[in-house]
């Protein structure tokens, strides 16, 4: 064994400057990734905080307690209940949650889950803008730019909850 190790040793000298340079490059690469991930996480946390603040204000405008915006899943149920009539709101709440089970079916789940969740979310956001008396353009914009439209609805003094709930089912 020792003879094998002795025969495989390299006769070329190791340049310490090359080793130092590769170490510095590796550390810079790792630091760059750390900064990228830190900024990404900070942006995601900022979006979550802004969404909770906007949802809190929307709940208060609709006559619901604002603390309901802090509870996951329940806040989406309350949002559906504000925007839609009773059978529709329950279906729009249950379908995205049930589609998580559907995601485990190999081909069907991969196709159906994103479509179901996207469709239910789009209908909910459209209905929410409609419940606050917004016109057709604002309702369609709410589907694509939900955080911005939600903040406009939440903090605008002249937008009031009209209670025009959407009925689909």
Going from N- to C-terminal start, the domains of the chain cover 20-155
pLDDT of residue 12: 60
- DSSP letter at 66? G
Give the residues across from 84 on adjacent strands: 166
CB 165 within 8 A of CB 131: yes
pLDDT digits (tens, 9 = 90+) for 94-151: 887 777 787 788 887 778 888 888 888 888 888 899 999 888 888 889 889 888 888 9
The fraction of the chain above a pLDDT of 70, given in percent, is 91
Compute the half-sphere exposure of residue 32: CA atoms within 13 Å on the CB side of its CA: 6
Structure tokens at 122: 């789009």
Instruction: For residue 169, name the pLDDT band (cuts at 50, 70, 90).
Output: low
pLDDT of residue 121: 85
pLDDT of residue 163: 81
Does residue 30 carry a pLDDT above 90? yes
Task: List CB contacts of 85: < 8 A, sequence separation 6 or more.
Answer: 165, 166, 167
By three-state DSSP, how is residue 84 classified? strand
Give the residues across from 166 on adjacent strands: 84
State the Cα torsion 33-39-40-46 to the nearest 10°.
Answer: 170
What is the model's pTM? 0.73
pLDDT of residue 110: 78
The fraction of the chain above a pLDDT of 90, given in percent, is 28
């Amino acid at each position: 064994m020792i003879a094998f190790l002795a025969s495989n040793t390299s006769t070329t000298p190791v340049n310490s400057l090359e080793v130092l340079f590769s170490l510095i490059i590796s550390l810079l690469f790792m630091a760059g990734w750390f900064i990228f991930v830190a900024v990404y996480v900070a942006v995601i946390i900022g979006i979550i905080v802004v969404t909770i603040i906007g949802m809190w204000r929307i709940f208060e405008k609709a006559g619901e307690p604002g603390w309901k915006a802090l509870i996951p899943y329940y806040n989406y149920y309350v949002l559906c209940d504000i925007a839609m009539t009773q059978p529709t709101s329950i279906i729009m709440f249950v379908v995205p949650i049930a589609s998580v089970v559907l995601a485990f079916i190999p081909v069907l789940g991969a196709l159906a889950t994103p479509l179901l969740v996207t469709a239910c979310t789009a209908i909910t956001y459209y209905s929410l803008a409609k419940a606050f008396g917004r016109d057709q353009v604002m309702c369609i914009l709410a589907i694509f730019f939900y955080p911005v439209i939600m903040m406009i609805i939440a903090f605008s003094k002249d937008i009031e909850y009209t209670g025009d709930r959407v009925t689909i089912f």
